[in-house]
Structure 1
Amino acid sequence: MLVAQRYRLDGPVGRGGMGEVWRATDEMLGRTVAVKLLAAEADEAAVQRFRREAEIAARLSHPHVVALYDAGAHEGRLFLVMEFVDGGSLAGELAAHGVLSPERVAHLAAQIAEGLSAAHRQGVVHRDIKPANLLLSSDGTVKIADFGVARTAHETAVALTATGQLLGTSTYLAPERAVGRPAGPASDVYSLGCVLYELLTGRPPFGGDTAAAVVHQHVDAVPARPGQLRPGLPGSVEDYLLRLLAKNPGHRPTAERVADWFTAWPGQSAVRTVARATGHPGTHRPAHRLPTTADAPGTTTRRRRTAVLLGLGAAALFASSVLIGTTLTNEAQGSSERTTPSPTLSPSPPATTAATAPSTPEETETAPTAPPLLVPSATPTAHDTTPVATPTAQPTSTATTTPSQSSTPTKKKPGKHKPQR
């Protein structure tokens, strides 16, 4: 079959509710592509989602997002022509090889988070991050696919369609979406956390006999530590992964910070060494410091300036405290002891604080509490009539101690001596 007199369909790759994907050959350019055809019996809602997928994919250009080449209609069916990714999906990788090493997972996580960060910068929220939508090329690069249920920032659509269908997969559904709030960038980060949890342990963080049971757990159940399911996992990876699964969206790091963290994680060095030796591309971010907070863009310069000012302030405060301490000691000793040399004050060495990575992110504002909404029923796309309480956020606040300013003691003015007559 020749689509649009240009794309020869060579064989099916996959089928879904909205249509089918074919491996094809672009006879004009002589390259392999993927052609996605909308089902002939698709309803108007599916047509609109298909068109929106084309519009959203067209605005994204990133090494970790599947590229869109062309779009149109053929014999009354809409089609998309996309980059062909030849290595299968993470779902297939997991089924074929089981759990992945922490180093491999960190390598994949950094790439996926980079792709998500690029989408979020364009105001795009994917809303269906799962292993089947994360494709692998033969050189080890991972790419995000299928923006069929994605939304943009200016859209007011919430997690449900007009018919009550849940857009997304319950296994990887963020808690805020489960209670009817719109998806945001943090929702994609939560879904990514579910995917990474499954790649490390062989199972998603929550499971159940029905979609409704799984959704309830996303709202108010605490996932088991990955190390309980797979002993020996690095504690730093465990801790950071659980931050991605925070119930409160404001307590999760941004996709950009996730990419930074996994790129800088020490275990990544082995993967980067193999990538250089084999010629396979690694992540596109340089390995630098281990991120510990969710930095806002453009804050590096301000932080350096702030660090210098804080250092100068700390030095001045220390010098003042030494001077004040010496003065108070001398005054307390009385005039008879002022002629005795006071011992030299040796400042105690500053206490060393162990750096724990990562610390609580900076984006910790509490999301507004919404009234309980309806939760999807046992069918993956239906709603239950049982109200579910909004997840209770467990904010982790970092107490910042501001040094108190010591006031300089007022010196006593010498008394006036009247001359003796």
Structure 2
Amino acid sequence: MSAEEHRPGARELVDGRYELDTPLGRGGMAQVWQACEVSTGRNVAVKFLRLDSEDLRRLDTRELRAELAVLYARFRREAELLSSLDHSGIPELYGHGLHRDMPYIAMRLVTGVTLRSFLDEHNTLPLAPAIAVAAQAAEALACAHTHPVVHRDLKPQNIMIDDEGVVTLIDFGIAKPLRADATRYTAHGSTLGSRGYQAPEQIMEKEPTARTDIYSFGCVVYELLAGRPPFPLGEDSGLIGKHLYEDPPPPGVYTAGVPEALDDLVLRMLDKVPERRPAIGEVLDVFAPFCPRPGDPEPRPRTHPDPTAPCRRPKDRSVASRPVAAAPPSPSSPGQDEWLDVRVVQQLCATAEQELYEGEPGEATRSLQGMTGRVRQEWGSRRPLVRRVWRLAADGLRLAGDFGAAAPLYQDIDSGLLHGEGPAERAERAVLRLRVAECRLAFGEMAAAIEAVQAAGHTAAGLPAPYATRVEDERRAVDEQITARLADPESTDL
């Protein structure tokens, strides 16, 4: 492999599918072109891996070969991640491959302005557009975290606002899946994250988690509300130390009218301890009361683009999620316009239990996942069958790898569906919390998982033998996952 590979040019046909038109940007790792997909006529973005960067030129032959292998692997991983993330706020993948030995990714063309340019033009924003940007970006980030994937480079330059005000997260080039089996790739001389937006654990080169994104996103939200970053980039002296050790003042110190709830949220997002930062779901919950609603008037002063428009006029949005094939309804599933039949739900539960026993969540499990809200609404929170439906739905999501969706179900069972303080209930709570810990472990939240395992051990010690055995079996399974991660020699390799 050579760093002096082919350089793409206008009118060039890539892989027989995309005709290059105009270069859109060039960074240290990649270059992006606007292109036309020949078969459909739609405009797309084609991203090429750069093989001619100055960093690569400095390497000898052996180092270059190793470095290119890492870069190729990261590029393939970016394509895989984009193919799995289904949200209108994340560019969908159209294709990927090699063009004259140069890796490329073709994806939806995101037009408009970066949030960096938008903030530079408008300085301090009114509250409505600031929260509209933050909420839309948070929804896209929630999609990534559900899989779970951590972006690792959230900053205003990687957030786009199109002419309709729709916000899109871009550049998943150093994004990382948080599965235990995910391969880690470290590039020569690379710095993960961007100066001024790196979480303390990124600066210290520790394992990233979803809460790493929360810190970086907190820096972005701070700037949206305050008109300046928590620690301005111009203050070069001690910038790293400020992110490691100092707490910024609340955004409301710099901008009048910032609600106390938002001040508190942003400061918690910027907590130096990852486990103390809120999850993205809580961030969205705090944003919700302040987000523009359908029918609200246009904010003053006006901005272009107007990020409140998708919130105020949702029917006008022309950008939609890519179509997803719906699973065929189970013939035994109750319709949405009829009351639930206890016998039908019991049969679905029995079938789902068999699916989960075989390790393959199937149609019955998916049906239960779609009716958790209905069973609770129609039958209340104390009926054992309601808890059975929720538990099977959560177990199915966990086994399918959707840890972000499974964890809240387990937590809701613990807090709202499980009643009593007898040995059976105490054992069930311990198991539920261990399942939550397993989900958190998938997001890299090691400390929370260790704490849950220790608490389960104390609970098991005070239970009668049959219940203690059940808790111990679950505790050991999670503890083994923690041990495997701690023993991984690449556990700090970002």
TM-score (norm 2): 0.55
Match of 1:207 among 232, 244, 260: 232
Partner amino acid for 1:22? W
- Show the 5 A alignment for 1:13-412: 13-41=24-52, 43-44=67-68, 45-153=70-178, 154=180, 161=186, 163=188, 165-208=190-233, 213-265=238-290, 270=296, 271=308, 275-276=312-313, 279-280=316-317, 296-298=407-409, 299-300=411-412, 303-305=415-417
Partner amino acid for 2:312? A
Q: Deviations over 1:143-189 (max 9, x none)?
A: 1111111112136788x946453211021111122222111000001
The CA distance in 1 between the partners of 2:207 and 2:244, in whole Å, is: 15
Structure 2 alignment gaps of length 5 or more:
1-11, 54-66, 297-307, 322-405, 422-439, 449-494
Distance of aligned partners of 1:273 and 1:32 in 2 relative to their CA distance in 1, 3 Å threshold? closer
The CA distance in 2 between the partners of 1:212 and 1:304, in whole Å, is: 50
Partner amino acid for 1:63? S
Distance of aligned partners of 1:266 and 1:165 in 2 relative to their CA distance in 1, 3 Å threshold? closer
Q: Count the aligned residue pairs.
A: 303
The CA distance in 1 between the partners of 2:105 and 2:22, in whole Å, is: 16
Partner amino acid for 1:279? D
Structure in which a larger fraction of residues adopt helix: 2
Question: Which residue matches 2:355?
Answer: none
Q: SS at the partner of 2:408? A: coil
Task: Give yes or no for contact 1:128–1:168 (8 Å, CA) kept in 2.
Answer: yes
Distance of aligned partners of 1:18 and 1:249 in 2 relative to their CA distance in 1, 3 Å threshold? same
Partner amino acid for 1:227? G
Distance of aligned partners of 1:266 and 1:38 in 2 relative to their CA distance in 1, 3 Å threshold? closer
Task: Give yes or no for contact 1:135–1:145 (8 Å, CA) kept in 2.
Answer: yes
Task: Give yes or no for contact 1:186–1:254 (8 Å, CA) kept in 2.
Answer: yes
Q: SS at the partner of 1:86? A: coil
Question: Which residue matches 1:343?
Answer: none
The CA distance in 2 between the partners of 1:155 and 1:64, in whole Å, is: 27
Task: Give yes or no for contact 1:248–1:367 (8 Å, CA) kept in 2.
Answer: no
Task: Give yes or no for contact 1:140–1:281 (8 Å, CA) kept in 2.
Answer: no
Distance of aligned partners of 1:62 and 1:283 in 2 relative to their CA distance in 1, 3 Å threshold? closer
Distance of aligned partners of 1:155 and 1:188 in 2 relative to their CA distance in 1, 3 Å threshold? farther
Task: Give yes or no for contact 1:126–1:150 (8 Å, CA) kept in 2.
Answer: yes
Q: How many angstroms does 1:208 deviate by?
A: 4.9
Q: How many angstroms does 1:212 deviate by?
A: 7.7
Q: How many angstroms does 1:99 deviate by?
A: 2.5
The CA distance in 1 between the partners of 2:36 and 2:230, in whole Å, is: 40
Partner amino acid for 1:86? T
Distance of aligned partners of 1:162 and 1:88 in 2 relative to their CA distance in 1, 3 Å threshold? closer
Structure 1 alignment gaps of length 5 or more:
285-294, 311-362, 370-421
Which has the higher Rg, Structure 1 or Structure 2?
1
Q: How many angstroms does 1:28 deviate by?
A: 0.6
The CA distance in 2 between the partners of 1:65 and 1:273, in whole Å, is: 16
Higher relative contact order (CA 8 A, sep 6+): 1
Q: Tell me the C-alpha RMSD between the 2 structures.
A: 3.2
Q: How many angstroms does 1:95 deviate by?
A: 2.0
Q: Deviations over 1:367-420 (max 9, x none)?
A: 869xxxxxxxxxxxxxxxxxxxxxxxxxxxxxxxxxxxxxxxxxxxxxxxxxxx
TM-score (norm 1): 0.64
Q: SS at the partner of 2:46? A: strand
The CA distance in 2 between the partners of 1:266 and 1:82, in whole Å, is: 29
